[in-house]
Amino acid sequence: MNESNCYVILFDSTHQALSGEKALKEGGIKHAVINTPREFSVDCGISLRVEPHLKDDAVSALDAGGVMHAGVEPYRSRWK
């Protein structure tokens, strides 16, 4: 079965992705900067990966920092 084990936060630009990384760092939210998986069609090649239990905190940190994102999608990462 191909269940998701993380969430990928997608962005429309590299600037937004780097601002998102900064917001998550400042919020103390564990994350990883990854290449955007091929199955997601967005303009930016950089995304952020977070564990499922941190998804809501990550989105809140982005919102608090005024960082726009293109979406948050469940994903099955082999690099857990």
For each of the domains in the chain, give its residue range(s) and CATH number, in order of start. 6-75 (3.30.70.100)
Minimum mean pLDDT range among 12-16, 42-46, 66-70 = 42-46
Instruction: Please state whether beta strands 71-75 and 6-10 pair in parallel, antiparallel, or not at all (unpaired).
Output: antiparallel
pLDDT band for 1, please (50, 70, 90 cuts): very low
Tell me: pLDDT of 63 over 50.
yes
pLDDT of residue 10: 96
Q: Taking residues 60-68, report their average pLDDT.
A: 96
Q: Measured at the alpha carbon of residue 15, what is the angle toward residues 13 and 20, in degrees to the nearest 5?
A: 100
Q: Taking residues 58-68, report their average pLDDT.
A: 97
Q: What is the pLDDT of residues 30-47, one digit of tens each?
A: 999 999 988 887 788 999
Of 7, 51, 4, 47, the C-alpha closest to 29 is: 51
